[in-house]
Every structure is written in structure tokens, then in C-alpha cells.
Amino acid sequence: MNDGTPPAAIERVEQDEVAVARSAATAFCTHFGFPADQIGRLDGPPLIGPVSLEREGRFATAYRWLGGGRGSYYVQVEVYRDTHQVVVYGGSSHREFGPWEFHGQSG
């Protein structure tokens, strides 16, 4: 539902949110030692997203990069609407990490 915000402004906000989510995914994957080829794949569009979800009564928009098969690496970023908190989950079949809160470029 649109509150009267011009479509171009909505698109810009969505693009900004994807950029923040991508930065969070990159920081997460770097921090947890994902292989370089997997980190390089984060430059493309999300495989899944934006998807609205509710977790513990809070609403977020989720984006997922990587994945695509059992045992492969994955990273999911959730941007919470109420506080703009950015939380990342990810890993592979061998190890999973998260929730990991992203605080800008410092991670």
C-alpha cells in the first residue's frame, strides 16, 4: 500500500535497502571466512528478496544471496522496519553463523 510517496522515491529507498543488505552480506561472509568465489557472487542481485517476514512480532525485509543446493553456502540479511536493525544469518552444511548484527562498515 502506498502512502502517496512518489514511485521514484520508493524505488530509491528499495535500492538503498538492497545496498545496505549487500554490504552486510559481504561483511558477514568476509568475517566468517567464506571462500572468495562465494563472496564475489554477492555483487549480483539477491537470489531471493525482498521478502517480508515477521520474527517475534517484528517486521523485516529479507534478502538471500548464495545458496542453491544442499550443503552450499548461503547468507540471509534481514532489515527490520521499526529500527532499521540489520541482522545476518548464514553458513554452509558444516557450520552456521548468526544472528550477527551489522553496524555499518565496521560490521
Residue 97 maps to a domain: yes
Domain that holds residue 88: 7-106
Q: Is the pLDDT of residue 10 over 70?
A: no
- SS3 for 39-103 is HHHHHCCCCEEEEEEEECCEEEEEEEEECCCCCCCEEEEEEECCCCCEEEEEECCCCEEEEEEEC
Residue 65 maps to a domain: yes
Residue 1 maps to a domain: no
Would you say 78 and 87 are in contact if contact means Cβ atoms under 8 Å apart? Answer: yes
How many domains are there within the chain?
A: 1
Residue 86 maps to a domain: yes
Q: What is the pLDDT of residue 93?
A: 83
Q: What is the pLDDT of residue 102?
A: 93
Q: Is the pLDDT of residue 9 over 50?
A: no
Return the residue matching grid coordinates 562498515: 105
Q: Full-prediction pTM beyond 0.85?
A: no
Residue 52 maps to a domain: yes
pLDDT in tens, 27-64: 999 999 999 999 999 998 999 889 999 988 999 999 99
Residue 100 maps to a domain: yes
Residue 2 maps to a domain: no
- pLDDT tier, 106 (very low <50, low <70, confident <90, very high otherwise): very low
Residue 11 maps to a domain: yes
pLDDT in tens, 59-100: 999 999 998 767 789 999 999 988 889 999 999 988 898 898
